[in-house]
Chains A and B, each alone.
Chain A
Amino acid sequence: MIRRTLAVAIKEFLHLRRDPRTALTLLAMPILLIFIFGFALSFDVKHIRLVLVDEDGTRAGREVAEAFLRSGYFDLVSHERDGRKLNALFDRGRAQAALVVPNGYGAALADGRPTTLQFVLDGSDAQMATTILAYARQIVASISPVVRGREGAVLGLPVVWYNPELSSARFLVPGLVAFILAITTVIATALSVVREKERGTMESLRATPLFAPELLVGKTLPYLLVASGSAAGSLFLAWALFGVPLRGSLFWLGVVTVLFLAGGLGQGLFISTLADSQQVAFQLGLLTTMLPTLLLSGFIFPISSMPTALEWITHLIPARYFLVALRGIVLKGAGIEVWWPQAGALAIYAVVALAAGTLRLVRSL
């Protein structure tokens, strides 16, 4: 049993070796994506064009402005005495944010009365606005203790856990691992089966006494190894380049990953029964993994901010569960008591996909 599975695996491995383009794609794609997502597609925002509207003109007001500039995120483009020009500056895109220090701010602080700062944002790019707002909150919080020391005035004090720098890489890398694994397992599996159909070798394979599991496990084993290698490589690169830590247990990381991979394998097998050519298999694989994983898994766009109908659909995307567990393990070091519902969902996905894929394939054989 094991030897026959191995015979198939060796054959499949030889195919991979003879086709260095596929092997290279499987290994190089993750590295490329890490670079693209880590550097180019970074959500970290820098050089934000800030306008300071200092109606107050006191030392307290200047201190706030200095704190913003010291943070390194903001560039001062204009210093105004009042807000008359503000609209024009935003309209022309010269300003992305404005810090308004209202008249009487310094006096209020000196008297120990509560007071407010106004922060104006260009919200046309919601993603960026959210990020800028987060920076602003942090800066204000950082000066709050000083302010509070001058009696009474309480400003908001947000605290960011797990990812204090709100680094995009930390947020994106677990998603990227899920993304790579979903694509490679599903597509590689589907292609490797459809290729046999296209070549006509499937007929000869069926005439051998190989059991379906021997054939299927043997065929997918090499791809699983490559995909796991890619995943490990991605996590390593993320650590080396962006300092993304691996806080949780490797064992549990392995368990949820295997569940996710098994599901992808089943999904790939299922696709192979629908497609008669490698091209169709590739497109079906891409369509059912890349887009949902990219858009609906919470990889990039938070699920909580989706419309209800769309949010419902996300429950059908396996990467959604994998991502929660993965982020939990990698970023928070969370144990199974935290993400067991997600692990359960992945187990269901694995069982359903594998059963459906295998049954359909065996029947179509």
Chain B
Amino acid sequence: MSLEPTVTARDLGRSFGAFKAVDHVSFSVAPGEIFGFLGSNGAGKTTTIRMLCGLLTPSSGAASVLGYDVATQAREIKRRIGYMSQRFSLYGDLTVEENLRFWGGAYRLFGRALAERVEWAIGAAGLAERRTALARDLPGGFRQRLALVSALLHEPPVIFLDEPTAGVDPEARRMFWDLIDTLVERGGTVFVTTHYMDEAERCHRVALMHAGRVLALETVPNLKRVFPEGSVVEIHCPRPAEAVTVLKGTSGVRDVALFGDVLHAVLSDPSRRGGLEADLAKGGFAPARIDPIPPTLEDVFIHVIGRAEDGGPA
């Protein structure tokens, strides 16, 4: 495997008028890596991916994919990458097979090579019994997988996925990711944007993006090490929504957020746990149970964004 990175970005930026959608972003993606861009809507993930795919010219900085410059060699890049856009990229009024044949043709596959790849795609997406179904009649999960294999027909060494499983149920999402894992086992590189934490957990490295900037870029375990052992706790107590406001004003609590009907809190000192229980009881939130938990990526995300907005170092 070559040491040359598959994707590199240096001070990559893109403005729309005065608005900086992507603000001096730098990273590199190694071959065989699943690289995730995690961020909320409007963080600049899609703008970044569109620049990398040669669909949008950068306003500043530079980026290359497979050694080709995104600003000047877009066509070379387009021939060699797969891209699955955020929006539904299939023709609903065409059948599974017709969709695949069209996208294959657009990626310069013809004749026997095309037929072979279409068969591969139908098998890989588990669509053998639905090959003559119209794409719009497919259940969401199948559609997503069809869109993915459509982008893989020309066997690209790197694939860009922009929020590939938005609006798909968790089971279908898991099947989708199993497909991606087999791809990476064969040496493929995956660049994916998402706002699902479970999806980000499956990436080798994750860049946390917020307001156009990359706030952190690490492996998932390393990202979670921003918190000292035992400082992330789960709190079960009555009226959790009210408890959030109370805890926000309590000393020693850095972050608190509601997850369903439980609270996640980040403590500045893990030994503050006993005192916190007393504080909650005083506020009328007894009985409260406080357990240390391993931090989730979402805890990290909220924490990092909070620090960035307070003006601290990201």
Contacts and interface: CB of A to CB of B under 8 A. Distances in A.
B91 A3 contact: no
Contacts of A19: 93
A10 B84 CA distance: 22
A7 interface: yes
Contact residues of A: prevailing secondary structure: helix
B90 A203 contact: no
Given A200-B87, A203-B55, A209 B78 contact: yes
Given A4-B108, A209-B108, A10 B85 contact: no
A364 interface: no
Given A4-B106, A11-B91, A11-B98, A200 B79 contact: no
A315 interface: no
Contacts of A10: 101-102, 105
B88 interface: yes
A210 B106 contact: yes
User: Could you say which of B53, B90, B91 has the most chain A C-beta atoms within 10 Å of its C-beta?
Assistant: B91
Given A7-B102, A11-B98, A200-B85, A209 B107 contact: yes
Contacts of A207: 53-55, 78, 81, 83, 85
A199 B87 CA distance: 8
Given A203-B87, A208-B78, A209-B79, A8 B106 contact: yes
Contacts of A15: 91, 93-94
Contacts of A199: 87-88, 91-92
Contacts of B79: 209
A8 B98 CA distance: 11
A191 B18 CA distance: 33
A71 interface: no
A3 B110 contact: yes
B90 A208 contact: no
Nearest to B150: A204
Given A11-B94, A209-B78, A203 B106 contact: no
Nearest to A210: B106
B108 A11 contact: no
B10 interface: no
Nearest to B93: A18
Interface string B22-57: 000000000000000000000000000000011100
B55 to A, nearest CB: 6
B93 A208 contact: no
B53 A208 contact: no
A4 B105 contact: yes
User: Could you say which of B55, B88, B106, B107 has the most chain A C-beta atoms within 10 Å of its C-beta?
Assistant: B106
B55 A201 contact: no
B151 to A, nearest CB: 8
28 contacts: A3-B105, A3-B110, A4-B106, A7-B102, A7-B104, A7-B106, A8-B102, A8-B106, A14-B93, A14-B94, A15-B91, A15-B93, A18-B93, A18-B134, A199-B88, A199-B91, A200-B88, A201-B88, A203-B55, A203-B87, A203-B89, A204-B83, A207-B54, A207-B78, A208-B78, A208-B106, A208-B107, A209-B79
Given A3-B110, A199-B87, 20 more contacts: A4-B105, A7-B104, A8-B105, A8-B106, A11-B98, A14-B94, A19-B93, A199-B88, A200-B85, A201-B87, A201-B90, A204-B84, A204-B89, A204-B103, A207-B55, A207-B83, A208-B78, A208-B106, A209-B106, A209-B107
